[in-house]
């Protein structure tokens, strides 16, 4: 198995901060994919999404919350972030197809939520292009393979 893209600290706040730093690395981009509705039966939770992705050959590297509201998975060098955001403003932006997820306002909100500044965010060694889909309220961000 490959080395995870980042290491999750043991403290929940530090883990969320490390996750945001990883996702917000300068050069990363977010693009929306289609939303899928399965009448709440396909992926009713992050836990259900994890089981589905494990069946697709992804390894669960870590989860946040009980029950989990976030999971980081990897298959080879391909990342999958499965989540149900607790932040109502972020959820609204994710659900609103007209909002540009690369907009400075969205980025600033994410930085502020973690107590980060733009200067705290490194330039991505290999920028990721995240594709974001929603299935029954579970958001899935997958990153293109990278070297």
> DSSP assignment of the chain, as one string?
-PPPSSPPPSSHHHHHHHHHHHHT-BT-EEEEEEEE--TTSS--SHHHHHHHHHHTTPEEEEEETTTTSEEEEEETTEEEEEE----HHHHHHHH-TTS-TT-HHHHHHHHHHTT--GGGSPBPSS--EEEEEEETTEEEEEE----
What is the b/e burial string over 1-19, where b = at least 16 CB atoms within 10 angstroms of the residue's CB?
Answer: eeeebbebeeeeeebbbbb
Q: How many Å apart are CA 82 and CA 68, to the nearest integer?
A: 10
The verdict on residue 5 lying in a domain is no
Residue 91: per-residue pLDDT: 92
Residue 13: per-residue pLDDT: 77
The verdict on residue 7 lying in a domain is no
Q: What pTM, to 2 d.p., does this model score?
A: 0.84
The verdict on residue 81 lying in a domain is yes
Q: What are phi and psi of 100, to 5 degrees?
A: -80, 115
State the residue range of the domain holding 85.
12-143
Residue 1: per-residue pLDDT: 44
The verdict on residue 2 lying in a domain is no
The verdict on residue 6 lying in a domain is no
Number of domains observed in the structure of the chain: 1
Residue 131: per-residue pLDDT: 94
Residue 130: per-residue pLDDT: 95
pLDDT along the chain (147 residues), means of 10: 55 80 95 75 86 95 90 93 93 93 95 92 94 91 73
């Amino acid at each position: 198995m490959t080395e995870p893209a980042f290491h999750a600290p043991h403290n929940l706040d530090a883990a969320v901060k490390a996750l945001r730093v990883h996702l917000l690395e300068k050069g990363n981009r977010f693009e929306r994919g289609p939303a899928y509705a399965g009448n709440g039966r396909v992926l009713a939770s992050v836990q259900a999404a994890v089981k589905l992705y494990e069946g697709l050959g992804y390894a669960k590297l870590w989860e946040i919350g009980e029950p989990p509201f976030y999971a980081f998975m990897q298959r080879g060098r391909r990342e999958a972030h499965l989540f149900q955001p607790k932040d109502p403003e972020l959820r609204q932006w994710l659900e609103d197809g007209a909002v540009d997820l690369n907009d400075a306002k969205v980025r600033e909100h994410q930085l502020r939520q973690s107590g980060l500044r733009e200067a705290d965010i490194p330039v991505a060694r290999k920028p990721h292009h995240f594709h974001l889909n929603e299935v029954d309220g579970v958001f899935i961000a997958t990153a293109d393979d990278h070297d």
